[in-house]
Amino acid sequence: MSRRTQSLAISRFTIVNSLGVGSEAVARALCEKRSGLVSRNFETAGVDTCIGPVDGVEDFRIRQDLRDYDCRNNRLAQLCMDQNGFAAGVAAARESYGAGRIGLFLGTSTAGLHSTELAYRSRDPRTGALPADYRYAETQNTYSIGAFARRYLGLSGPGFVVSSACSSTAKVFGNAARMIAAGACDAAVVGGADTLCLMTLYGFQSLGLTSRYPCRPFDAERDGISIGEGAGFALLEKTDRAAPGALQLLGVGESSDAYHMSTPHPEGLGARMAMQRALASAGLEPRDIDYINLHGTATKSNDASEDRAVFDLFGPETPCSSTKGATGHLLGAAGITEAIISLLAIEQGMMPGGANTRRIDPALKSRYLLENKQQKISRVLSNSFGFGGSNCSLVLGVAP
Amino acid sequence: MRAYLEGVGLLGPGLQGWDASCPVLAGELPFRPAEAIIAASELLPAAERRRAPIPVKLALAVGQEALRNAGRDASATPTVFTSSSGEGETLHQMCETLASAEREVSPTRFHNSVHNAAAGYWSIATRCREASTSLCAYDASFGAGLIEAVAQIVAGAKAVALIAYDQPYPEPLHSARPIAGCFGVAFVLTSETTSRAAAVLEVEFLTVEERPTRMAEARLEAMRRGIPAARSLPLLATLARKAAESIALEFLDGTSVRVTVRPC
């Protein structure tokens, strides 16, 4: 959206990933510069890589009336909505706006795909049929997380699920902003979840993109990603005048690489365009940004291309880092996770230094932070780029 | 929310292209069932043309037809893709591989498995660097794409291409989620009327579940109910008749999308 975005208040948010359950736990882990990445295999996977798992999902119970939706992805979504008073906050918003005036724009890359992976291992040996208790609509379909959250939160406004790989849950902020601007709703829940599954572990391995070590974004020796899992949700509301100190969505910028299905444009053209559009929609200049939360996946090509785009636009001064060394790459949930980490950075006045990275690649020119940096932060730019060349940048800030 | 309609693309069982399908949808010619013929887009580079799965070919074919009918430059037009099933055949092949002892996953198949594969191939084929999104809302996926595309127009976009498509799953997924055939539809929507505008659409999200407008022809009605992307058929029929009408499209539980069409 090139036109100025009307800023929206971010009145509630919640987050769960390998760093912790709820925003306080995640903020604490970032302050302590901990990483949630472990050298362990998910389920029966035999991939030599590290993962960022959320412990205890196996034993978590989905709300009884929604048990048809039971799968790892929806469990993670419910666990997340139960933190930070999020579900209660949405219930209060439902009272004031009406359930039909709150939109629900979620994202995911693989939804409950692991349920299908398990079902394919239990096919009827004679007919090939999937087990009778396999539930496609509630677990496998890309919309399953939307259907689940809509019922869990009791919402009846407009909604859908965005699935544009690793930019999905950044792009949902744009959907919410447009729907609110168009008058289709007054508030919106955005976010989503992505969970570990065999497809992404083996798939990224087949592309030679998984690292044996906890991923090291921007490091000279970086050699690939670590896949994590997690969820995050935020409540966006239209406001006439934001209260001082209120967190806000200031801008959204989207673009396409038009280059390759799984490799970013080498000069970062699409990334640069997304950042420029996000700044334009916020009515800001590069110098107005205090910190950049990079996409920074730790593959050779992604970091090089993003660095080029960031350096071209922001120069050598603007501090930036990737938090994927701490969380791993949450794929479809990366956008919301890093948007919320950006909000935590603003709240705490702390730019997180990149975990695991030891020696910055001398070929990369942006100002990458290795250590946490205490400083007042008013505006953050957060990048999310995905397969298919789908790019999205967000500008988040605090009302003066 | 208002938008002008400039071009349509259509490919479905017995519906081979928008111009050829208009008399059928308007009830002037009988509907003759036939499998949709889906050719690979000549816009794709040779390697991509080989690798593109059927849903990608379907989406590219209807998208290209709609932009050609609108006389618009695809490289300058943002896109909204929407699909209930996404890349079904690729999903099936991946799950079979992952259930086997070797688990030797093909990297091409993996990048083809993402829900936005069609959007990725489209941007490469048309050299379009504009914004693109890929949506899903199960049976309501067409309605979701329509409200998003029109919201983009209302929020300031000059033109948006909406591309909705579905392909049936192979077994065993087909039994768990039957989809009755391949169907793709595309609309070019604009913010201002031009000489190419065929109709003006007023699109409204309603928090009541209106009875969806049905197709008079029984086999087209079966298609509407059997393929999520074919939930667009009542809108296509109204456009084919060049009628001023208001129709209800299925959306999420307890809601509907009302489209009021006025020919230009």
Would you list the domain boundaries of chain A?
8-398
DSSP string, A316-330: T-SEEE-SHHHH-B-
- Tell me how many residue pairs between chain A and chain B have CB atoms under 8 A apart: 220
Task: Give A155→chain B minimum CA distance, Å.
Answer: 10
Token couple for A266: 């080498």
Task: Give B103→chain A minimum CA distance, Å.
Answer: 8
Contact B114 A163 (CB under 8 A): yes
Contact A255 B107 (CB under 8 A): no
With a CB cutoff of 8 Å and minimum separation 6, the contacts of B24 are: B14, B15, B30, B31, B32, B240
CB A110, CB A167: distance < 8 Å: no
Residue of A nearest to B176 (CA): A136
CB B250, CB B205: distance < 8 Å: no
pLDDT in tens, B75-133: 999 999 999 999 999 999 999 999 999 999 999 999 999 999 999 999 999 999 999 99
pLDDT of A250 reads 97
Structural domain that includes position B235: 2-263
Residues in chain A, how many? 400
Closest Cβ opposite residue B95 in set A117, A171, A184: A117
Instruction: Give the mean model confidence (pLDDT) for residues B201-217.
Output: 96
Tell me how many domains chain B contains: 1
Which residues of B are less than 8 Å from A271 in CB distance?
Answer: none
B45 has pLDDT over 90: no
Which residues of A are less than 8 Å from B2 in CB distance?
Answer: none
pTM of the predicted model as reported, rounded to 2 decimal places = 0.98
Token couple for B245: 């009408």
Residues in chain B, how many? 264
- The CATH homologous superfamily for domain A8-398 is Thiolase/Chalcone synthase (3.40.47.10)
Residue A81 DSSP one-character state: H
In whole angstroms, give the CA distance from residue A27 to residue B220. 55
Q: Which residues of A are catalytic?
A: 166, 295, 329
Burial class of A8 by CB neighbour count within 10 A (0 to 12, 13 to 18, 19+): buried
pLDDT of A2 reads 45
- Which residue's structure tokens are 């400083």? A375
DSSP string, B53-66: -HHHHHHHHHHHHH
Q: Does any CB of chain B come closer than 8 Å to the CB of residue A41?
A: no
Q: Does any CB of chain B come closer than 8 Å to the CB of residue A130?
A: yes
- Which residue's structure tokens are 């009846």? A156
Closest Cβ opposite residue A258 in set B113, B123, B253: B123
Closest Cβ opposite residue B107 in set A184, A207, A257: A207
Token couple for A8: 């929206």
pLDDT in tens, B11-23: 999 999 999 999 9
Task: Give A108→chain B minimum CA distance, Å.
Answer: 10
pLDDT band per the 50, 70, 90 thresholds, residue B46: confident
In whole angstroms, give the CA distance from residue B95 to residue B105. 10
pLDDT of A122 reads 97
A window 99-128, beta carbon within 8 A of B: 100, 109, 113, 116-117, 120-121, 123, 128
In whole angstroms, give the CA distance from residue A373 to residue B201. 52
CB A268, CB A312: distance < 8 Å: yes
pLDDT of A274 reads 98
Tens-digit pLDDT profile for chain A (400 aa)?
A: 445 668 899 999 999 999 999 999 999 999 999 999 999 999 999 999 999 999 999 999 999 999 999 999 999 999 999 999 999 999 999 999 999 999 999 999 999 999 999 999 999 999 999 999 999 999 999 999 999 999 999 999 999 999 999 999 999 999 999 999 999 999 999 999 999 999 999 999 999 999 999 999 999 999 999 999 999 999 999 988 888 999 999 999 999 999 998 999 999 999 999 999 999 999 999 999 999 999 999 999 999 999 999 999 999 999 999 999 999 999 999 999 999 999 999 999 999 999 999 999 999 999 999 999 999 999 999 999 999 999 999 999 999 9
Which CATH number do you get for residue B15? 3.40.47.10
Exposure on the CB side of residue A323, measured as CA atoms within 13 A:
35
- Which residue's structure tokens are 């948010």? A13
pLDDT in tens, B181-196: 999 999 999 999 999 9
CB A277, CB B130: distance < 8 Å: no
Instruction: Give the mean model confidence (pLDDT) for residues B161-170.
Output: 98
